Structure 1
Amino acid sequence: MGDPIDPADPLARIAAALERMAPPLLPPTDWSAAPAYVWSGATVLAVADLQAIALDRLVGIDAQKASFTENVRRHAAGLPAHDTLLWGARGMGKSALVKAAVAAQQASGAPTALVQAGGGPEALTTLPALFDQLGGIDRRFVVFIDDIGFDGPEASSAARPLRSLLEGGAMARPGNVRLAVTSNRRAIVERNMNDQDDPINPRDAIDDRMALADRFGLSLGFHACDQDTYLAMIEGYAQAHGLAFDAEDALLWARQRGARSGRIAWHYVVELAGRAGKVV
Structure 2
Amino acid sequence: MTDPLDRIAAALERLSPPPPAAADPLAHPAYLWRGRALEPARAFRPLSLDALHGIDRQKAALLANVHRLAAGHAAHDVLLWGARGTGKSASVTSAVAAVQAGYGQTGGGDLALVEVVTARLDTLPALFAVLAGVRRAFAVFVDDLGLESAADGRALRSMLEGGAEARPANARLFVTSNRRHVVARDMAGQAGAGTEGAINPRDTADDELALADRFGLSLGFHAVDQADYLAIVRGYADARGLLLDEADALGWATRRGGRSGRVAWQYVVELAGRAGLEV
Return the TM-score normalized by structure 1.
0.89
Q: Which amino acid aligns with 1:113?
A: A
Cα distance in 2 for partners of 1:173, 1:266 equals: 35
- Would you say 1:140 and 2:151 are equivalent positions? no
Give 1:16 shift. 5.2
Report if the CA contact (8 A) 1:231-1:247 is conserved.
yes
Matches within 5 A, 1:97-176: 97-108=91-102, 109-120=108-119, 123-151=120-148, 155-176=149-170
Distance 1:274 1:24, change over 3 A: same
Quote the Cα distance in structure 1 between the aligned partners of 2:46 and 2:81. Answer: 19
Query: What is the deviation of 1:23?
Result: 2.8
Matched, 1:33 2:27: yes
* Aligned-pair CA distance for 1:38: 1.0
8 Å Cα contact 1:35-1:49 kept in structure 2 = no
1:191-206 alignment runs, 5 A limit: 191-195=185-189, 196-201=193-198, 202-206=201-205
Report the CA distance shift for 1:235/1:21 in structure 2 as closer, same or farther (over 3 A).
Answer: same
Query: What residue identity is the alignment partner of 2:139?
Result: V
Instruction: Select the residue among 71, 76, 80 that pairs with 1:77.
Output: 71
Greater shift, 93-102 or 189-198, is seen at 189-198
Task: Answer whether contact 1:87 1:221 (CA < 8 A) is retained.
Answer: yes
- Tell me the secondary structure at the aligned position of residue 188 of structure 1: coil
| Structure 1, unpaired ranges of 5+ | 1-7
What is the CA–CA distance in structure 1 between the aligned matches of 2:186 and 2:13, rounded to whole Å? 51
Shift of the 254–77 alpha-carbon distance from structure 1 to 2, 3 Å rule, reads same
Deviation at 1:53, TM superposition (A): 0.7
Structure 2 counterpart SS, 1:87: strand
Name the residue aligned to 1:229: 228
Pair 1:52-2:49 in alignment: no
Aligned residues: 268
Q: Percent identity at matched positions?
A: 57
| Residue identity matched to 1:112 | L
- AA matched with 1:251: L
Secondary structure of residue in 2 paired with 1:260: coil
Take 1:29 and 1:209, find their aligned partners in 2: how far apart are those partners?
37
Look up the equivalent residue of 2:275 and give its one-letter code. Answer: A
Partner of residue 105, structure 2 = none
Displacement of 1:185 after TM fit?
2.2
Render the CA deviation track for 1:241-275: whole Å, top value 9, x for unaligned: 22212011101111222211000001101111121
| Alignment match, 1:5 | none
Q: Between Structure 1 and Structure 2, whose CA radius of gyration is higher?
A: 1
Q: Deviations over 1:203-233 (max 9, x none)?
A: 5553223011010100111111122211121
SS of residue paired to 1:126: helix
C-alpha contact 1:92 1:224 (8 A) present in aligned 2: yes
Q: TM-score, normalised by structure 2?
A: 0.89
Q: 1:159 to 1:276 in 2, by over 3 A?
A: same
Task: Give the equivalent residue in structure 1 for 2:275.
Answer: 276
The 3-state SS of whatever aligns with 1:38 is strand
Alignment deviations for residues 155-214 of structure 1 (CA, whole Å, 9 cap, x no partner):
222111111000010110000001111112256243324422232125555322301101
Change (3 A) 1:59 1:16: closer
